[in-house]
């Protein structure tokens, strides 16, 4: 697995064109979190150079075509808006002349003030009380864990927290980078975009143990709410409100270890029943 610092280190080949190098991976398809994070890095670089007081607060993206992990990806940035309070960038991730991912990211100036409130983090055991939970993942997910060796991912046992009786599917995961990472806010934001695609779609399968499905991310949206570090423990509280027609909707709230709500994620993914006869 390539170091996240290398994954997020894009080469600038023109004013608004960037290139991500191939990533050493056992997966034939590019990991969705990787292309989303790299697209966000490209967007950030076109804002940071002229608008230092603005930070990304949201992104909305669509996975259009499977990427090839062994090939480089080119990121084309359109500067849709550069306003006084907000700026917007559109990014197309391209391989072999085809767009594999399309994203818009919005940036908001720092220093604005207004009302404040936030959801509370549910009570769960601390990560040190859980230990290694890799064996609890299905075989397909355990293969992904081999790709994420630089990340410590621990699923909270379902019997160790109170469940919302009105939620169809729930999963709670602690995670953090095993490596110390740079003291740069935007780096941690882009790294969280990478990490946010891990385990979320799998939360839709909690009510269906043993059901074999073909999985793929279809879209991804994030909101960055408060400062955080991904080399410190974060709690990913995940629910899947609905699964039907071979698609599952998932939603995650991310808290820091002090209980502050730092980010939110919504994703829809393909969850098509696996057919061994399908060609």
Catalytic residues, which ones?
197, 217, 267
Cα(162)–Cα(157) distance, integer angstroms: 11
Q: Are 44 and 106 in contact (CB under 8 A)?
A: no
Q: What is the DSSP string of 9-73?
A: -PEEEETTEEEEPP---S-SBPPHHHHHHHHHHHHHHHHHTT-TTEEEEEEEEEE-S--BTTS-E
Cα(240)–Cα(238) distance, integer angstroms: 7
- Considering only the C-alpha atoms of the chain, give the largest distance between any 2 of them, rounded to a whole number of Å: 57
Q: What is the DSSP letter of 95?
A: E
Cα(first)–Cα(last) distance of the chain, in Å? Answer: 30
């Amino acid at each position: 697995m390539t170091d996240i610092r290398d994954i997020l280190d894009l080469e600038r080949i023109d004013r608004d064109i960037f290139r991500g190098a191939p990533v050493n991976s056992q997966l034939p398809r590019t990991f969705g979190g990787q292309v989303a994070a790299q697209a966000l890095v490209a967007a950030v670089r076109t804002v940071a150079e002229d608008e230092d007081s603005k930070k990304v607060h949201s992104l909305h993206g669509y996975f259009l075509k499977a990427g090839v992990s062994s090939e480089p990806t080119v990121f084309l940035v359109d500067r849709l808006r550069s306003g006084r309070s907000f700026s917007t960038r559109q990014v197309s991730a391209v391989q072999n002349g085809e767009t594999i991912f399309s994203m818009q990211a919005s940036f908001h100036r720092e220093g604005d003030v207004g009302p404040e409130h936030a959801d509370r983090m549910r009570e769960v055991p601390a990560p040190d009380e859980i230990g290694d939970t890799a064996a609890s993942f299905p075989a397909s997910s355990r293969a992904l864990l081999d790709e994420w060796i630089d990340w410590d991912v621990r699923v909270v046992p379902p019997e160790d927290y109170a469940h919302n009786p009105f939620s169809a599917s729930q999963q709670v995961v602690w995670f953090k980078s095993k490596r110390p990472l740079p003291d740069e806010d935007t780096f941690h934001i882009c790294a969280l975009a990478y990490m946010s695609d891990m385990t979320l779609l799998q939360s839709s399968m909690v009510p269906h143990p043993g059901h074999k499905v073909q999985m793929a991310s279809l879209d991804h949206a994030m909101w960055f709410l408060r400062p955080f570090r991904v080399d410190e423990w974060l709690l990913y509280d995940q629910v899947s409100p609905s699964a039907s027609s071979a698609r599952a909707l998932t939603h995650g709230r991310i808290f820091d270890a002090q209980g502050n709500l730092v980010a939110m994620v919504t994703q829809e993914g393909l969850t098509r029943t696996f057919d061994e006869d399908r060609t």
